[in-house]
Every structure is written in structure tokens, then in C-alpha cells.
Amino acid sequence: MRNKFIEILVKEASKNDKIVLIIGDLGYNVVEPFQEQFPDRFFNAGICEQNMASMAAGLASEGFHVFIYSIANFPTFRCAEQLRNDIGYHNLNVTVVTVGGGLSYGNLGYSHHAIQDLGLIRLFPEFKILAPGDPNETIACMKNLFSSNGPSYLRLKKAGEPNYNTQEVLLKEGVWNKVISSKNNKIFLTTSGGLSLAIKLLKNKEFEDFGIYSCPIWGAFYKDSQQKQIDFFDQVITVEDHLLDCGFGSWIRESITNPNSHLKISHKGLTKNVVGKVGSEEYLYKLDNL
Amino acid sequence: MNSILLSKKIRKVSLEMVHSSNASHIGSALSMVDILAVLYNNILNYDSNNPNWEERDKLILSKGHSCVSLYAVLGLKNFFDIELLKTYGKNGSNFMNHISHKVPGVEFSTGSLGHGLPYAVGIALGNKLKKIDSKVYVILGDGEVAEGSNWEALLFASHHKLSNLVVIIDNNNLQSLTTVDETLNLESYREKLEAFGCNVINLNGHDHKELEAAFSNSNLTSKPLAVIAKTTKGKGVSFMENQVKWHYKSPNTKELSIAIKEIDNA
């Protein structure tokens, strides 16, 4: 995903001289193509996430589309107030890009486990969340980013993910994307790494007739469009690589205005069982029966 | 109007605003009045009829609680109908009790400290990238300098030689509960700022000639410029000067009247 991100960013930056990339001293073997082609629009802010975020806001106020890039908890939790006040409140064109979404960096310990980031960002109403589940969804998210303005959060995993969407993906904000058709009108609804988890869950006999839909682009602005989509199905199970507390499933549940919908919605995601544990992503998922 | 006369008007309008809305922070607002008067009268390049003019100089108020004196100078310089200041702090007003970018001429909303300088660094960088020869000025409170984000920003600004950045520290040595020295001693500002790569000037923050000289282009070298402006909190109203309580208290009708007379007679 991160390679697809930089490939598209470089392509777009060659057409748009207002695109700037600022990294927080991370991105080895990823960001170099941008740095080499656009040295005047590439900055390493150093290990200074607060300054990176506020500075990006100031730069965006001068008409630039600024991408700030780091590992998931650093340009989010470390500078949460800068995202809230400087970028969000001023509605500036800054995209916070994180890698290591979910438990991608499972062996690196709790500091690198991005399992609360969506909960933080969805508190900021101006922010659009873009959480692709595979490279094809990453391409669609990038297209969306370049066709709109305003604060955004692009949550990437790492590199080498397979494509679960077999065709080109077209995404709209808050609209579910069909990945696999349902045979029984029951679905898994995913965001980010929830997509790969749902693919695994389909192998269980009890879910073999389920379909999979993803919702890569969401956030506070798009809650109103959820009820109609929920009503279309007989059962919806949300799946995410994030704590269930304040995550994607919670967002879906909070979107419900029809009380009957509660009866057909349940959630799969991470719990306190993974907090403080270390291991591969697969190992950690098993701690939560995923 | 010269900057001295402007400073008197700013002080009077600021006092009336906090009195009318029973608001706090008048001491902090009075502290930086002379800095604002010199900047808006003699230094900043702007067009109040076109506040978003791309090549304008920009002022960022990082100590957003001192907003009344900035609102006042913007009103006095015709960025908006000055009568609007009567809505300050009232329900539904854009004139919030911390500086608000919803007001014409205000570049950036603050209120939480330590945000203005990093944001100003972004503007300065943007102007360099666009090859626009305008400057960005940012006013910080001295207590606010303790925020780590400021030092992160200075590292970046000096590393990238942002010579279009002017950092002004309103050094009244009084913060929320007591002096800065007693709270978390930040001296020496000069040594710290020089160590972080700034060209540093110490001056009397109420002396208009010193301020004007400091902001002249000759001091804009290849480094960011840091101006340590020694000021008095509550400056211009004797019973407010150097008193912590005027960080919180609003003048009643009698106190307002005495304060206005003092300013007129100064």
C-alpha cells in the first residue's frame, strides 16, 4: 500500500506543483522517489511531530496540499491538538498519512500498534478518513484525495498486501464498496485491514454465504448515509483491525437511526486481549479469535 | 495617526471590550499594545479592503487570550466595522474570547499555547516556496515559550534559514499564577534563542522607536529574527500593571473610567 501511495503521489506531484511531502524522519525505502524528483517540495521535519503538523497547516494556508507521513501513532496521538485546532478547525488541505495501521508492526511493541488511531481521528469532524484494505482501494483513495480539499487521514498498512478487489475500485465518501457478493443477503462490512480479516472469516462454514463490502472512506460527515445501506441487508458484521472501542463498528452503530437495525448488526475487532502483547499480526489476531 | 496615538486608542477600545463582556486577560492584552501599534501603523504590508491579499505580511497571535487588542487594532485599521467589537464575547459573535480567524484580518485562531510559532513557520516556508517576499510575524507570551512545540519550530526555521520569520516574545514576566521566573525559569531567552539559530534583539517593548528599528529590514539576515520585548503586563493603567489578578479580572464601570482617564492623560 505504501509503495502504491508514493507512486501515485509522485505522479500527481509532477502535474501539481502545490503538493508537498513532509516526513517525520520515517519512510526509508518508500519516500525516496518523491525526494529525488521534487527536492524543493520534500522536507524531513525531523522527530518533531507537533511542529510537523502545525507547520503543515501554515503551509496549507498558503495554498499547498501538504502530506505529512509517519508511523501511525506519531503524527496522530503525539500531535492530536495540532490536528484538531490547526488543521481541522481551520479546514486546511493537509493529509496525514500513516503506515503500520492496525497491528502491521506487531513485533515492534505497543508504541507501534495503531489500534486507537481511527478512534482519535473520527473525533475531529472536519477530517475525512481514508482507510483502504488493499492496493486497489489505495488507488481509489488517492484519487479521492486529489479531487477534494480539506483535512484528511490516510491510514495505510505496509507493503506487499494482495488485492482483494479484483477490479478497479470506484469510491465515494461514506458509500460501501462491494468486494464479494453475498448469497444470503448477509455481509461483512470492513475498513482498512478489516478486509483481509473478513476474507479469512469467509472460510468458516457459518459464513460461507456471506458477502464482503468495504467502507474505506468515512468520518463524521458521512454518518447520515449509513442507515439506507444498512437497511439493504439482513445481517451486517463489521470487521476491523482496531479496538472495538470508538472504532469503525462503533461509528456504524452510532449511525443507526432505525432501532430495528440494532438487531442485525454485530462487530468483530480487537479488544484488550492484544494490548501490550507482541508478535506477528497473525499471532495477535488469534488472541482475539480473528 | 501616529503609532503612539494608535496605541492609546487600542488600549481604550480593549478596556471597553473586556468591561462590556466581563472578560478576562486585559493585562496580557495591554502588554502587547505598543508592539501591535507599531506593526500595524508602520511595518506590516496589508490591505484592509482585501484582507486575503496573497502578498500581505501576516501577524499570528499565539497568545490568543490577548485577543482584544488585536481585534481593536484591526477595527481601528478598518478591517471591519468597528461597531462589531461591541459583540465581543457575546452569544453568536465571531469575536470570541480567544483570537478567531472568523474575524477579517485574523490569520489564525489560537487559545491553546504553543501553536502560533509552528504555524508561522509553515507560512514562512510557503512564502519561500512561492518566492513571495512577504514576512510573517508571530507574538508569543513569555510563559508560552515553555511549550516544546516552539523549540521544534525554531529548529526547523533556523535549519531552513527562514529569514522571513519574526518571532516576538512579549516578555512581561507574569503568567497565570506568578512570575515566569518563579514558575519555570526561562532565562536566558537570548542565549536559548541564539543557540536555536536566531538573530536576537532585546528591547523595550513599549518604546515605539526601538520597536520600529528592530523590525527594519536590516535585521532580517539569513536567520529568523527573535525580538525579546521587555514589557509590563497591564501597561498603561497603573492599578493593573504587574498584577496577576488582571489576568482574570474585568474592570467595573468606575475602574474603566479611571483607566480611560489615565490613558488620555498619559
Residue B59's closest CA among B140, B156, B137, B161? B137
**What pLDDT does residue A276 have?**
94
**From the list B107, B119, B148, which residue is nearest A54 (CB)?**
B119
Q: Is the pLDDT of residue A213 over 90?
A: yes
**Whether residue A77 is found in the same domain as residue A148:** yes
Mean pLDDT rounded to a whole number for chain B = 97
* Number of other residues whose CB lies within 10 A of the CB of residue B206: 20
Q: Which domains does chain B have, with CATH numbers?
A: 3-265 (3.40.50.970)
**What pLDDT does residue A233 have?**
97
On whether residue A75 sits in a domain, the answer given is yes
Mean pLDDT of A129-151: 97
**Whether residue A14 is found in the same domain as residue A151:** yes
**Whether residue A43 is found in the same domain as residue A141:** yes
Cβ pairs A/B, distance under 8 A: 93
Query: Best mutation site among A17, A25, A51, A79 for testing chain B: the one with the most B CBs within 10 Å?
Result: A51
Q: Chain B closest CA to A61's CA: distance in Å? A: 7
Q: What is the pLDDT of residues B175-224, one digit of tens each?
A: 999 999 999 999 999 999 999 999 999 999 999 999 999 998 888 889 99
Q: Is the pLDDT of residue A154 over 90?
A: yes
**Whether residue A11 is found in the same domain as residue A121:** yes
Domains of chain A: total:
2
SS3 label, residue A26: coil
Please name every residue paired with A155 in a beta bridge, in sequence order, or none if there are none.
A98
**What pLDDT does residue A20 have?**
98
* Residues of chain A contacting B122 with CB distance shorter than 8 Å: 54-62
* Residues of chain A contacting B119 with CB distance shorter than 8 Å: 54-55, 57-58, 61, 86
* Residues of chain B contacting A21 with CB distance shorter than 8 Å: none
**What pLDDT does residue B12 have?**
98
Cell, residue B119:
504555524
Confidence label for A214 from pLDDT (cuts 50, 70 and 90) = very high
**From the list A55, A64, A82, which residue is nearest B156 (CB)?**
A55
On whether residue A83 sits in a domain, the answer given is yes
Burial B34-60 (b: 16+ CB within 10 A, else e): bbbbbbbbebbebeeeebeeeebbbbb
On whether residue A29 sits in a domain, the answer given is yes
Q: Chain B closest CA to A176's CA: distance in Å? A: 36
Is B104 exposed, middle or buried, given 0-12, 13-18 or 19+ CB atoms closer than 10 A? middle
Confidence label for A159 from pLDDT (cuts 50, 70 and 90) = confident
d(CA B44, CA A183) in angstroms, rounded, equals 68
* Residues of chain B contacting A46 with CB distance shorter than 8 Å: 152, 155-156
A→B contacts (Cβ < 8 Å), by residue, are 20, 40-41, 43, 45-46, 48, 50-51, 53-64, 81-82, 85-86, 89-90
On whether residue A77 sits in a domain, the answer given is yes
**CATH value at residue A260:** 3.40.50.920
Query: Best mutation site among B58, B101, B115, B134 for testing chain A: the one with the most A CBs within 10 Å?
Result: B115
Mean pLDDT of A156-182: 96
Q: Chain B closest CA to A276's CA: distance in Å? A: 28
d(CA B50, CA B39) in angstroms, rounded, equals 18
**What pLDDT does residue B4 have?**
98
A51 contacts B149? CB cut-off 8 A: yes
The answer to whether the beta carbons of residues B212 and B7 sit under 8 Å apart is no
The parent domain of residue A68 ranges over: 2-155
Mean pLDDT of A38-59: 98
**What pLDDT does residue A133 have?**
98
SS3 label, residue A68: strand
B122 contacts A56? CB cut-off 8 A: yes
Confidence label for A263 from pLDDT (cuts 50, 70 and 90) = confident
The answer to whether the beta carbons of residues B67 and B36 sit under 8 Å apart is no
The answer to whether the beta carbons of residues A121 and A153 sit under 8 Å apart is yes
Mean pLDDT of A205-210: 96
* Residues of chain A contacting B130 with CB distance shorter than 8 Å: 62-63
On whether residue A167 sits in a domain, the answer given is no
**What pLDDT does residue A52 have?**
98
Q: What is the pLDDT of residues B215-248, one digit of tens each?
A: 988 888 899 999 999 999 999 999 999 999 999 9
**Whether residue A20 is found in the same domain as residue A146:** yes
**Whether residue A43 is found in the same domain as residue A82:** yes
On whether residue A161 sits in a domain, the answer given is no
**CATH value at residue A11:** 3.40.50.970
**What pLDDT does residue A262 have?**
83
**What pLDDT does residue B42 have?**
97
B130 contacts A54? CB cut-off 8 A: no
Q: Chain B closest CA to A217's CA: distance in Å? A: 28
**From the list B112, B120, B160, which residue is nearest A58 (CB)?**
B120
Query: Best mutation site among A49, A62, A89 for testing chain B: the one with the most B CBs within 10 Å?
Result: A62
Helix (H) or strand (E) holding A269: strand A265-270
**Look-up: residue for cell 519555570?**
B184
* Residues of chain A contacting B101 with CB distance shorter than 8 Å: 90
**Whether residue A144 is found in the same domain as residue A185:** no
**Whether residue A83 is found in the same domain as residue A190:** no
Q: Can you give the length of chain A in residues?
A: 290
On whether residue A140 sits in a domain, the answer given is yes
Confidence label for A260 from pLDDT (cuts 50, 70 and 90) = confident
Domain end position, chosen among A104, A124, A155: A155
Query: Best mutation site among B53, B117, B125, B151 for testing chain A: the one with the most A CBs within 10 Å?
Result: B125
Confidence label for A261 from pLDDT (cuts 50, 70 and 90) = confident
**From the list A50, A63, A64, which residue is nearest B149 (CB)?**
A50
Note every long-range contact of A272-276, with CB atoms under 8 Å and residues 24 or more positions apart, other chains counting: A274/A103, A274/A113, A274/A115, A275/A110, A275/A113, A275/A115, A276/A110
Residue A67's closest CA among A8, A132, A134? A8
On whether residue A169 sits in a domain, the answer given is no
Mean pLDDT rounded to a whole number for chain A = 97
**Whether residue A150 is found in the same domain as residue A197:** no
**Whether residue A88 is found in the same domain as residue A125:** yes
Cell, residue B188:
536566558
SS3 label, residue A283: helix
Q: Kindly give the parts of chain B with pLDDT less than 50.
A: none
Mean pLDDT of A258-279: 94
Is A58 exposed, middle or buried, given 0-12, 13-18 or 19+ CB atoms closer than 10 A? buried
